[in-house]
Structure 1
């Protein structure tokens, strides 16, 4: 990676070195810039300064040696990727249901992260191989991956500022009469640590939902996230008593609906995951700043499910 050079404007006089560097090289995160200062990768007028607290006078020439460093230790694995879009800074992937996003206890191999490292070895220099958000193992759909530190910082900021468009399609149990908004905080369940729940001490969470198609005992809904809490859609839909069909954690006991034909019964019994798909993703491109948006249709298993629900009405 080439060295980057900027001149300190006199308007920044009096700032600490780490503050000035953050203003001048805003494509990188403050924590990363702090690390580079302390490791001698920042020069002020040709002199390496290791103290982030050094004061700036204005007019100095600052050089940043933004070297790529290996930060991911996972192993590349030849796992197929469904790539929707790719350029030098950004990768958009359509994740299939059943694929874990990144390694954790019980899933150290066979993850999206392993597949990404196999696709592009340079991703080992980025936190979590460039993955800036996740969707659950059994949720399908669109994920964004940064390919550079600048892109990673941009996408992370957009997420924090709720500037990323994320729309989902889901099939819920129960026939909704209208759409609405769930504005309820989400936190860990007090006794079941792998579950999340609506609770006052949780973090703010907002989910908007709209009816796409009603069936006798189910609803196809479109959901838009303002926030991105763990299991947010699944928790919020269960909270308003329209849990996602097939959800093994929040969906409650399996029940066959009344007047269920043989084909629908087959699909319902065979659907072993939450019926949730990340269908649309929109963001400001980290380099061009243009708004970009991608859509991905329902996967085959959800298409069969929705078709069976519709056919059962006839």
Structure 2
């Protein structure tokens, strides 16, 4: 964290400002520097306490938790410099966002540079509104305290809360930068397994622009203008009566990319509460299995990247979790297939031995769905 006494150097403030602020204490006593004369109280405090948002500071003032020369004040009050401010810090849930929390993490691989882990469904990756604690970031800080010195505790990419599977975490800033560059130049290979509604007819590539849904800002959508390039390669592993077992390889990493692309291809993921089709026609046993899944049927199955220290390509796999395994067993049984997932093992072995299995020349068709 930056030196709290060295505030906004680019705004011509410096560490000689005549106040001291112990940001970890619950009560602060500050003297307003002359350089802030003429500013509103809320704006001045935001300058003096950059670790707190202006909106939170404004709430403190309105709640009578900020005294100016021992008098309650208004956020709009103008300062002349030299005032004495008493602030009673009110801790919020945000303060717990970067607190270590013991957590049973499924570590697939770890050395002095990276951590590769298998994230369970239901675990939020990064703190945000409504999820300030109990996130993967909290668990990583407990597992490896040194990550407190790395932005976002070393997290370089995310999985949705209800998507399971592999993630890589950097243990140092240089390693984090190296992995981010790999993501940007698309040398990181991420392969997902999923169950999609309907019978996906063929393998192919989905290439669109993805941006915020203009009708619902909480969702993503395929857009004609203003979005970011998104490319997903799809292979069909098995077809059932009402669903398909597919494998998706990402060239890009847009928010909700696979979920949005499969919906746009009219084969949304089974169990997807945001982008799925709750009225998809299927048998009652399958409906019950999808309901039991209680999430989108999506798992980050394989992760490959160049190790930042050795410069060697490394690859990791995480087996299909039990909830998806159960859904696949029901689908196979209904379709008269072996429910033991023997083909799952065959496909895993085949792809493990094929470094070029995502070459576009391998596809039956080049484009599965492309929006002009």
Q: Same fold (TM over 0.5)?
A: yes
Q: 1:148 is matched with which residue?
A: 172
C-alpha contact (below 8 Å) 1:73/1:124 kept by paired residues: no
Residue 13 (structure 1) aligns with: none
| Alpha-carbon distance between aligned partners in 2 of 1:192 and 1:265, rounded to the nearest angstrom | 27
Contact between 2:97 and 2:127, CA under 8 Å: does it hold in 1? no
Distance 1:190 1:73 in 2: 30
- Cα drift, residue 271 of structure 1: 1.9
Shift of 1:170: 0.3
Measure how far apart 1:191 and its partner are: 2.4
Runs of 4+ off more than 4 Å: none
Q: Which residue of 2 aligns with 1:311?
A: 333
- The aligned residue for residue 145 of structure 2 is 121
C-alpha separation in 1, matches of 2:266 and 2:287: 22
Bigger radius of gyration: 2
1:274 to 296, 300, 311: 296
Q: Does structure 2 conserve the Cα–Cα contact (< 8 Å) formed by 1:261 and 1:312? A: no
Q: Deviations over 1:65-98 (max 9, x none)?
A: xxxxxxx961000111000000000000100000
Q: Is the 8 A contact 1:211 1:222 kept in 2?
A: yes
Spell out the pairing of 1:50-199 with structure 2 (5 A cutoff): 74-199=98-223
Match of 2:309 in 1: 287
What is the rounded CA distance, in whole Å, between the counterparts of 2:284 and 2:212 in structure 1? 39
**What are structure 1's unaligned runs of at least 5 residues?**
1-71
How far is 1:236 from its partner? 0.3
Give the one of 211, 224, 232 matched to 1:207. 232
TM-score (norm 1): 0.75
Give the structure-2-normalised TM-score: 0.63
Alpha-carbon contact 1:94-1:142 (below 8 Å) kept: yes
User: Among residues 235, 248, 259, which one is paired with 1:223 in the alignment?
Assistant: 248
Instruction: Verify the 8 A CA contact 1:180 1:209 in the aligned structure 2.
Output: yes
2:306 and 2:130 mapped to 1: Cα distance? 35
Q: How far apart, CA to CA, are the structure 2 residues paired with 1:113 and 1:286?
A: 21
Distance between the aligned counterparts of 1:233 and 1:313, measured in 2?
A: 25
Gaps of 5+ in 2: 1-95, 337-372
The C-alpha deviation readout for 1:100-157, integer Å capped at 9, x for no partner, is 0010011000000000000011000111000000010000000000001111010000
CA contact (8 A) 1:102 1:111 kept: yes
Please tell me whether the aligned partners of residues 168 and 276 of structure 1 are also in contact (alpha carbons under 8 angstroms): yes
Q: Following the alignment from structure 1 to structure 2, what is the Cα–Cα distance between the partners of residues 148 and 254?
A: 47
d(CA) in 2 for partners of 1:270 and 1:254?
16
What number of residue pairs does the alignment pair up?
242
218, 225, 248: which is aligned to 2:273? 248
- Report deviation, 1:176: 1.1
Deviation at 1:286, TM superposition (A): 0.4
C-alpha separation between the residues in 1 aligned to 2:163 and 2:331? 20
Conserved? CA contact 1:208–1:225, under 8 Å: yes
Counterpart-to-counterpart distance in 1, 2:101 and 2:147: 13
Q: CA–CA distance in 2 between the matches of 1:236 and 1:169? A: 14
Deviation at 1:261, TM superposition (A): 5.5
3-state SS of paired residue (1:266): helix
Higher relative contact order (CA 8 A, sep 6+): 1
Secondary structure class of the residue paired with 2:133? coil
C-alpha contact (below 8 Å) 2:97/2:133 kept by paired residues: no
